[in-house]
């Protein structure tokens, strides 16, 4: 994980270093103080407002948050897919040592699909309805292997279809997306994204559009493929259950900012931010009390044009008053959550570590779900 965390307003480099789990410099993807703004007719949308993280090859980072938290915008910024005319991106995104922000579009294009690839949420709409699945995969291969002829590209695509567990891959190559089932389509999408052995794979809600039974298969497949290709994976989801299954590290986003970050064990065992508590108690647990109620987080995600002042979560936070007026005036910085076991665990909350421990215990008692 990242070793230092910039404050939204301060100088990112002058902050005292947080004890690092491993050196940032080795990470394949390094995102530093990323800000993404859209100019719209209604005003400036601050979709991502100062987010930093890093992912090494072979590791999986889960980015969690509600819709509008900035998680998908972050991933599109990494791939350079935002419309430059309407989007302002500042901060640093380094992919394999190359700075992507500010790079000419043509150079980012050459990285896309080869060094970094993306799996989208709904494979039915993400695959072109008019072209065969195989042709779309072969196209992704040939664009980065101009010397490959049709037969080689076809062979490569068939191999990939086989690798992601699609039966009769040679026959499936010539079928259209609508002739595939939902799970098979997502497998094909994964085959397409991996056809060039990308070192970085971003999966944006890859299982949301799928049946529950298929979800687990796809997650298993991703884990298998990561072991084989040794890629860095970003898994974007709103489902902490999915994160627990496959991620190594977790970044929780709210209103375009990081509110909590740490290893999966840290964040799921000892969540520090009241928003994370809310996310946890709104997810059904396979291991907990089956009769326990699911408790939704009250209120709605904030408007990114007009973010609440201070801590963006304070209007929905049960404990906002305990932090006094600061919660409404001061944006909390991402700080170490504690010492010892929690090294590298960061949280952006005005409550003290002791208060958080007490309130989380209360929260569990109230919700009745032991995790």
Partner 1 sequence: MARFLLKRLFSATLTLFAVSVLTFLMFFALPRDPVSSICSKNCNPERLERVRDDLGLNDPLISQYAGYMKGIVTGRDLGSAQGGRCDAPCLGWSYVTNEAVSDTIARVLPVTLSIVIPAAILWLLLGVGLGMVSALRRGTWLDRLAIGFSLTGASLQLYFVGAVLLLVFVYNLRLLPVPSYTSLFDNPAKWASGLVLAWVALAFLFSAIYARLSRAQMLETLSEDFVRTARAKGLAKPTVYGRHALRAAITPVVTIAGLDVGGALGGTVITETTFGIQGLGRTAVDAVRSGDLPTIMATVLIAAVFVVLANVLVDLLYAAIDPRVRLR
Piece of the chain touching partner 1 by CB under 8 A; list 63-71, 105-113, 329-337, 345-353: 105-113
Asked if 71 touches partner 1 (CB under 8 A), the answer is no
Q: Is 112 in the site for partner 1 (CB under 8 A)?
A: yes
Q: Is residue 28 a contact point for partner 1 (CB under 8 A)? A: no
Interacting residues with partner 1 between 214 and 273 (CB under 8 A)? none
With both helix axes pointing from N to C terminus, report the angle between 133-144 and 182-194 in degrees, rounded to the nearest 10.
10
d(CA 247, CA 236): 10
Beta bridge partners, 40, equal 43
Task: Count the neighbouring beta carbons within 10 Å of the beta carbon of residue 262.
Answer: 27
Identify which of 272, 275, 276 has the alpha carbon closest to the alpha carbon of residue 336: 272
Q: Provide, rounded to whole angstroms, the least separation between the CB of residue 136 and partner 1.
A: 8
CB closer to partner 1, 150 vs 269: 150
Site string for partner 1, 77-96 (x = CB under 8 A): --x-x---------------
Under the criterion CB under 8 A, does residue 140 sit at the interface with partner 1? Answer: yes
Sole window of 44-52, 135-143, 233-241, 354-362 interacting with partner 1 (rule: CB under 8 A): 135-143
* Interface with partner 1 (CB under 8 A), residue from 128, 150, 171, 366: 128
Contact segment (CB under 8 A) with partner 1 among 19-27, 32-40, 110-118, 245-253 equals 110-118
The Cβ of residue 54 has, within 10 Å, a number of other Cβ atoms equal to 24
Bridge partners for 358 per DSSP: none
Closest CA to 210 of 184, 172, 236, 235: 184
Q: What are the start-end ranges of the E strands in 41-133?
A: 43-55, 60-64, 87-95, 98-99, 116-119
Q: Under the criterion CB under 8 A, does residue 111 sit at the interface with partner 1?
A: yes
Tell me how far apart the alpha carbons of residues 114 and 194 are, in angstroms, rounded to a whole number.
9
Q: What's the closest the beta carbon of residue 227 comes to partner 1, in angstroms?
A: 24
Check residue 148 for interaction with partner 1 (CB under 8 A).
no
194 binds partner 1 (CB under 8 A): no
Among 4, 12, 122, 239, binds partner 1 (CB under 8 A): 122
Instruction: Give the ranges where the chain is alpha helix by DSSP (H).
Output: 71-79, 105-111, 123-126, 133-144, 150-163, 169-172, 182-194, 212-229, 240-246, 264-269, 274-281, 326-329, 353-367
| For the chain, the helix, strand and coil percentages under 3-state DSSP, each to the nearest 5 | 40, 20, 40
Q: Is 178 in the site for partner 1 (CB under 8 A)?
A: yes
What's the burial of 99, exposed, middle or buried (CB within 10 Å: 0-12/13-18/19+)? exposed
When asked if residue 127 is in the footprint of partner 1 (CB under 8 A), the reply is: yes
- Strand segments, DSSP code E, in 238-310 are 249-254, 257-263
Query: Looking at 125, 149, 168, 300, which residue binds partner 1 (CB under 8 A)?
Result: 125
Residue 139 binds to partner 1 (criterion: CB under 8 A): yes
Taking the least distance from each CB to partner 1, the nearer of 79 and 280 is 79
Q: Tell me which residues touch partner 1 (CB under 8 A).
A: 79, 81, 109-114, 117-118, 120, 122, 125-130, 139-140, 143-144, 176, 178, 192
């Amino acid at each position: 994980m990242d070793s230092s965390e910039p404050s939204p307003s301060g100088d990112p480099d002058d902050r005292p270093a947080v004890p690092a789990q491993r050196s940032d410099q080795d990470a394949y993807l390094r995102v530093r103080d990323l800000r993404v703004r859209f100019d719209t007719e209604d005003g400036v949308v601050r979709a991502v407002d100062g987010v930093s993280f890093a992912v090494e090859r072979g590791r999986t980072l889960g980015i969690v948050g509600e819709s509008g938290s900035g998680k998908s915008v972050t991933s599109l910024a990494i791939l350079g897919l935002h419309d430059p005319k309407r989007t302002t991106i500042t901060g640093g995104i380094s992919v394999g040592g190359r700075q992507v922000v500010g790079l000419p579009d043509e150079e980012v294009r050459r990285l896309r699909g080869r060094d970094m690839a993306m799996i989208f949420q709904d494979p039915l709409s993400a695959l072109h309805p008019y072209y065969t699945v195989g042709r779309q995969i072969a196209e992704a291969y040939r664009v980065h292997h101009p010397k490959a002829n049709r037969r080689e590209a076809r062979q490569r695509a068939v191999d990939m279809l086989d690798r992601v567990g699609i039966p009769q891959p040679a026959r499936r190559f010539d079928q259209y997306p609508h002739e595939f089932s939902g799970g098979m389509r997502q497998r094909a999408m994964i085959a397409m994204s991996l056809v060039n052995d990308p070192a970085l794979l971003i999966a944006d809600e890859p299982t949301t559009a799928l049946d529950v039974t298929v979800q687990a298969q796809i997650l298993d497949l991703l884990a298998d493929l990561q072991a084989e290709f040794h890629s860095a994976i970003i898994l974007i989801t709103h489902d902490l259950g999915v994160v627990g299954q496959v991620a190594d590290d977790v970044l929780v986003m709210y209103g375009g900012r990081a509110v909590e970050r740490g290893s999966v064990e840290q964040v799921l065992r000892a969540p520090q931010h009241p928003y994370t508590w809310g996310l946890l108690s709104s997810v059904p647990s396979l291991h907990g009390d089956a009769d326990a109620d699911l408790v939704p987080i009250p209120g709605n995600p904030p408007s990114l044009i007009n973010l609440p002042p201070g801590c963006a979560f304070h209007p929905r936070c049960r404990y906002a008053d305990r932090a006094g007026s600061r919660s409404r005036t001061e944006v909390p910085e991402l700080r170490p959550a504690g010492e010892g076991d929690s090294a590298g665990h960061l949280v952006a909350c005005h409550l003290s570590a002791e208060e958080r421990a007490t309130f989380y215990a209360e929260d569990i008692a109230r919700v009745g779900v032991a995790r």
